[in-house]
Amino acid sequence: MVDYSSKLFLGFDLSTQQLKIIVTDEDLKPLKTYNVEFDSQYKSKYGIHKGVKANEEDGEVISPVLMWLDAIDYLFTQMKQDDFPFDKVVGISGSGQQHGSIYWSHEAESLLNNLKPNQDLSKQLTNAFSWEYSPNWQDHSTNSEASDFHNAVGKENLAKITGSRAHLRFTGLQIRKFATRSHKSEYEKTSRISIVSSFVTSILLGKIANLEESDACGMNLYNISKSSYNEDLLALAAGVNSKIDKVDKSDPIYEKSIDEVRQKLGDITPITYESSGEISNYFVERYKFNKNCKIYSFTGDNLATILSLPLQPNDCLVSLGTSTTVLLITKNYEPSSQYHLFKHPTMPEHYMGMLCYCNGSLAREKARDEINKKYKLDQKSWDKFNELLDSQKAFDNKLGIYFPLGEIIPHAPAQTIRAILKDGEIEKCKIGDEFKIEDDACAIVESQTLSCRLRAGPMLSKSGDANKEESTDEINEAYNKLIDTFGQLKTDGKDQTKDSLIARPNRCYYVGGASNNLSIINKMGSIFGPINGNYKVEIPNACALGGAYKASWSYKCEEEKKFIPYDDYIKKLFDTNDELKDLKCEDKWIEYFKGVGMLAKMEETLMEVD
């Protein structure tokens, strides 16, 4: 029997393929999870496959919005059948897939306000949308809009303003496509635009909620440093940009269109612990929620993920799934067109950096397969690969660029380059006597880790306590040697500084499929060299859990009428989560300065795209 005696919190996760709700108690303990997979329930009703409708011809990938409403009623009904004590829930928050936009009709507000508890949400809200779909993050139908955004303000400058260069899935590009190309008349009929996170907040509140600030950073519209919309970008979304659409700023249509899009998007609420309001009467009457149950703004799924762990400034969460994603917390706003920065959802003056690599596990699997082939071993076994990783005593001056697929960071087409460092010179080479196929095992894990280290450095530098207590002499010596050998280092066109090269993470956490391989994560940990340890964790419901924790932290702050630093609040997880044990990796951070220089120089020779 689940112990529901405490006050309860709910964390939602509305992702591409399912809706999940997790129940937690006051001690951050997960008590129960409910989920509904869209394909298993709604395949025929909504004509979806893997949660979406995809059109291969134009790259459009969309999700039916009414399906999400059905999923909410479905899960609450399941919980009701389980006699779930809805009246004990004091706070709800959660996460949504990032970037997706929802287009509300002019009737939406009044329909939301007058929901009848005896009818399903989807039935009553059919007319609440000017378009009944939401572009999914996998959508790639906005190439022309991406060029427009870059041509309007410049790629690097767009990243500087909004935290990211133009990405096909980002909301601003999607709105431009909607307003100027695909759905002009629906755009006219749109009263408000939500993103997935604020959409769920709105449904639970029974009124259209403002955009949540950290998730709003995934739109390519918001000026992060100024905490306000960027007018040139709003003009692009509305199709009246002076440079691209040739609409003169003095033309009345310009101001009218900017006002309209601003109104549709609405205000962006700065990061806060304050609730957005109480749960709508619909849920109180239909499911017997307590009418005082607070709704706290939902956020994006990656942003919620970092809330699920006791992360502190300069911590890195390394997700080793099919692709590699690194999420890190920083005080530095150091944007780059190669990665993303968002405001942190609960820590004011902090940001979440997000590095997304395409070539992660699959590239490692390819190297493993070649080695196994040579030794006539079972293709799927990691034993030989791991033995090679474990037996390496020191960095042996061999690295590689292993991109079987075109890469995002650095933006480059598919290619493989192997090289050896000899007397300070980098020599490219092929598999042979000097660089054996076995060397790929260490070289790929080292190169992938060094690439993250190069990009994380500028974000971590001076952001927290980013140096270990080794003697300054030791660091200076390693740094001077690095510069003597390689000269000024650049990453993605920007100079690295001494501070960025000597910045260490605070802690590193590893999740995802390949984190089950201790040889891989030990090697990675020894290169990252975090000050306070490497941790392997399992967080199967991370986004939902992060949502529930956001609700419980917000509730606590409201109860105590003061801001409690999120990292202080969440650190009690160290006492309750037995998984949080230091991996005790060997620290080879200084030794890998050489690798840092070598990879940076090798990257300068990559074939470019764009």
Q: What residues make contact with ligand ADP under the rule CB under 6 A?
A: 321-322, 361-362, 365, 382, 512-514, 516-517, 520
Q: How far is the CB of 501 from ligand XUL (least distance, A)?
A: 28
Of 221, 219, 217, the residue nearest 230 (C-alpha): 221
Q: Indicate whether 302 belongs to the interface with ligand XUL (CB under 6 A).
A: yes
Q: Of 97, 202, 312, 361, which lies in the binding site for ligand XUL, with binding defined by CB under 6 A?
A: 97
Q: Which residues of 386-396 are buried (b: 16+ CB within 10 A; e: fewer)?
A: bebbeeeeebe
Nearer to ligand XUL, 97 or 330 (CB): 97
> Could you give the angle at which helices 472-486 and 593-603 cross, rounded to 10 degrees?
30
519 binds, among ligand XUL, ligand ADP, none (CB under 5 to 8 A by kind): none
The residue among 365 and 396 lying less far from ligand ADP, judged by its C-beta, is 365
Give 13 or 446: the residue with its C-beta nearer to ligand XUL: 13
Buried b (16+ CB within 10 A) or exposed e, 28-58: bebeeebbbebeebbeeebebeebbbbeeee
What is the Cα–Cα distance from 370 to 385, expressed in whole angstroms? 10
Give me the residue label for tokens 């995002």: 408
Q: How far is the CB of 302 from ligand XUL (least distance, A)?
A: 5
Q: Which residues pair with 9 in a beta bridge?
A: 24, 91
Decide if residue 364 touches ligand XUL (CB under 6 A).
no
The binder of 302, among ligand XUL, ligand ADP, none, by C-beta within 5 to 8 A per type, is ligand XUL
Q: In what order do the strands lie in the sheet with 133-135?
A: 53-55, 60-64, 133-135
- Contact pattern for ligand XUL over residues 192 through 221, marking x by CB under 6 A: --------------------------x---
> What string of DSSP letters covers 104-126?
EETTHHHHHHT--TTS-HHHHTG
Is 301 a binding residue for ligand XUL by CB under 6 A? The answer is yes
* String marking each residue 522-561 x if it binds ligand XUL according to CB under 6 A: ----------------------------------------
Closer residue to ligand ADP in complex, CB, 324/332: 324
The interface with ligand XUL within residues 416-475 (CB under 6 A) comprises none
CB 163 within 8 A of CB 220: no
97: partner contacted, choices ligand XUL, ligand ADP, none (Cβ within 5-8 A by kind) = ligand XUL
| Minimum CB–partner distance for residue 196 and ligand XUL (Å) | 8
User: 239 — alpha (psi -120 to 50), left (phi > 0) or beta?
Assistant: left
Task: Write down the least CB distance from residue 385 to ligand ADP, Å.
Answer: 8
Integer Cα distance of 544 and 272 in angstroms: 19
Contact of residue 517 among ligand ADP, ligand XUL, none (CB under 5-8 Å per partner type): ligand ADP
Q: How far apart are CA 235 and CA 255, in angstroms?
A: 9
Please check whether residue 337 is in contact with residue 304, taking contact to mean a CB–CB distance below 8 angstroms: no
Q: Does 15 bind ligand XUL (CB under 6 A)?
A: yes
Give the integer Cα–Cα distance in Å for 259 and 253. Answer: 10
**Residue 325 Cβ vs ligand ADP, minimum distance, rounded to whole Å:** 9
* Stretch of 21-29, 43-51, 141-149, 296-304 contacting ligand XUL, by CB under 6 A: 296-304
Q: Which is nearer to ligand XUL, 95 or 210 (CB)?
A: 95
Residue 165 lies near ligand XUL (rule: CB under 6 A): no
Nearest alpha carbon to residue 136 among 218, 242, 54, 221: 54
Task: Please give the structure tokens belonging to residue 246.
Answer: 């040739």
Binding residues for ligand XUL, rule: CB under 6 A, are: 15-16, 97-99, 137, 169, 218, 300-302
